[in-house]
Structure 1
């Protein structure tokens, strides 16, 4: 079960690779619980992969272990 949902805000974990911008604020724009077939998603470990958008409008896919959900305030 995904720990994040569409529209959730999160921070990229400090342990994430530099190319993922550790500490950056992102919004979840896609959730891949059941991954599509193909080689792209094979590079991620088992688990949920998210499409996220950064504040500057760029986007990427990131594994659930590399995201920290922001608490609702």
Structure 2
């Protein structure tokens, strides 16, 4: 079962350049361990991979361990 769901608001705490850590992002895609196909996913540890979209419209894939729920200051 996924820790996060579509449209959850999260931020990256690891696995991305420092300039992206802590920025508000939304879960827009979930890749389960069973559906991980191809060499692209070899760069990630086992588990869920989430596609997150930032407020500037850019998106990136992040392993579940590199995310937490976003907290407004």
What TM-score, normalized by structure 1, do the two folds share? 0.83
2:36 is matched with which residue? 36
Cα RMSD after superposing both structures = 1.8
Q: Which runs of 5+ in 1 are unaligned?
A: none
SS at match of 1:65: helix
Number of corresponding residues: 70
Compute the TM-score of the two structures, normalised by the length of structure 2.
Answer: 0.83
Moved over 6 A (4+): none
Structure 2: gaps of 5 or more residues: none
- Bigger helix fraction: 2
